Amino acid sequence: MDDWLIDDDRIPLGRRSVLPGAGFFSPDSFEAEQAEREAAERLDSDVAVIADPDADGLACTALVRAARGAGSLVPAGPHNLDDALAWAAEYATPETDLFVCDLCPDGPEDIESVGAVADRVGSVAWYDHHQWDEALGTAVRDAGVDLVVGESGEVCTADVTLEQLDYDFAERYHELVAATRDHDLWVREDPRSDDLADYAYWVDPEEYIDTVVEHGADLPSEAEEFLAEQRVEKEALIEKATERATLREVGPWTVGVTYGRCSQNEVAENLREQGADAAVIVKPAGSASIRGTEGFERCHEVAAQVNGGGHPKAAGCKPDIYDDMLDYAHHWTTQGAVAKQAIVDAFRRLTDDVDA
pLDDT in tens, 193-240: 999 999 999 999 999 999 999 999 999 999 999 999 999 999 999 999
| Beta carbons within 10 angstroms of residue 163's beta carbon | 12
**114 vs 112: CA distance, rounded Å:** 6
pLDDT confidence of residue 9: 75
pTM recorded for the entire structure: 0.74
**102 vs 355: CA distance, rounded Å:** 35
CB 205 within 8 A of CB 75: yes
**293 vs 298: CA distance, rounded Å:** 9
pLDDT confidence of residue 293: 94
Choose the CATH number for 241-355 among 3.40.50.150, 3.10.310.20, 3.90.650.10, 1.10.10.60: 3.10.310.20
25-64 pLDDT tens trace: 877 777 788 899 999 999 999 999 999 999 999 999 999 9
Q: Kindly give the parts of the chain with pLDDT less than 50.
A: none
pLDDT confidence of residue 355: 59
CB 261 within 8 A of CB 19: yes
CB 282 within 8 A of CB 267: no
**62 vs 198: CA distance, rounded Å:** 17
E-strand ranges in 35-180 read 47-51, 72-75, 97-101, 123-128, 146-149
Residues of the chain with CATH 3.10.310.20: 241-355
pLDDT confidence of residue 22: 79
How far is the CA of 306 from the CAs of 35, 189, 263, 288, 320, in angstroms? 26, 31, 21, 10, 7
**173 vs 170: CA distance, rounded Å:** 6
How far is the CA of 207 from the CAs of 158, 171, 344, in angstroms? 18, 21, 38
How far is the CA of 64 from the CAs of 48, 72, 219, 239, in angstroms? 9, 10, 20, 38
**6 vs 28: CA distance, rounded Å:** 17
Nearest 5°: phi and psi at 250? -125, 105
Residues of the chain with CATH 3.90.1640: 44-219
**183 vs 190: CA distance, rounded Å:** 8
Q: CATH top-level class for 44-219?
A: alpha beta
How far is the CA of 90 from the CAs of 36, 126, 268, in angstroms? 11, 18, 41
